[in-house]
Copies of this chain bind each other. A is one copy, B any other.
Amino acid sequence: MNIPFGGANGGVCCNPLEMSRRELQGLTRRFTSEIAMLIDPEKDRPAPDMFTNEQTMAWMMDTYSMQMGYSVPGVVTGKPLVVGGSVGRREATGRGLVNLIAAAVERMGLLPEKLTAVVQGFGNVGSVAALELAEKGVKVIAASDVYGAACDPDGLPVASMIRHTEGGESVGIPGREGDVEHGVAGDPVRHPGAVRHRGPDHKGERVADPVPHPCRGGKRSDHAGGRGNPVEKDVFIIADVLGNAGGVTASCFEWVQDTQKFFRDIEEVNRQLKRIMLGAFQEVLELANQKGVSHRMAALMIGISRVAAAMHYRGLHP
């Protein structure tokens, strides 16, 4: 993404679902205390992933800050707004994805108002993407979550569905559940579930959930596939590592704002997110075309070539 933000994963072996809030807090604080010598706004900045959330990051930030003797919000990202989080971070993955979809649509000469979309997963990513698509005129005809699904060839009422699901309800619209289930029941089964199917060597990004398909036809085989799927000839597939990148970009923005002690408003956050997303997209498209490879391959080639160039210049000390 051309942002100074690397990536590595770590975790604690436990079942947070069976732990009390007090236990979770104790575990988080001890873990933070143990890795405190490795993290720092200048060194390494943990972000939340599966089974961790804003609260977890606030505990980490508090533990580290108490150890330092003053507030160090930049040591983690994904914090609540009141302790140094960033506006627009929660929506960034979905929004960044739709930035790319809109660019792809435009590049293909399509009109958003004539397109339909199907959204698998309806959490932080999918619901935001659905709403952004709807606002651009795309007709969202189906949406699903782990409990159910909804579809309507005339377009789903995305905004009211979001309000509905905020209370913890399934996206399956009450009273029409039977239909809904029926309409797309077979579908999810054939899709690689975002969480379920991630291999051991993939980063556990929830941002893999949404698989919208603003593509030409209505055939199932046309939908935009995810990771590692072979590029189908007549389908424009946005590489997953690129489509997902809005979240980590917003984490980087949160860190930047904590570092600068100057917080951007939502317009500026969205403007910069779009600039970064489209810049990377453009680079990937160009290399993919030039080398005749998939977007995913091109994205990896760009990433690896940057690491290689940095290693070449820096050399091996001492």
Contact = CB atoms under 8 A, between A and B. Distances in A.
Interface of A: 2-4, 25-26, 29-30, 33, 36-38, 40, 42-44, 54-55, 58-59, 61-63, 65-67, 69-70, 72-73, 79-80, 82-84, 252, 255-256, 259-263, 265, 275, 279, 306, 309-310, 313-318
A26 to B, nearest CB: 7
Contacts of A255: 261
Contacts of A261: 4, 252, 255-256, 259
Contacts of A265: 275, 279
B310 A83 contact: yes
A40 B309 CA distance: 24
A263 B4 contact: yes
A316 B260 contact: no
A interface SS class = helix
Given A262-B256, A310-B83, A43 B58 contact: no
Given A67-B67, A69-B37, A318-B66, A313 B83 contact: yes
Given A42-B72, A256-B260, A25 B84 contact: no
Contact of A314 (B70, B83, B279, B317): B83
A194 to B, nearest CB: 28
Top-3 shortest CB links A-B? A318-B318, A58-B313, A62-B314
Given A61-B314, A313-B54, A313-B83, A263 B36 contact: no
A62 B317 contact: yes
A305 to B, nearest CB: 9
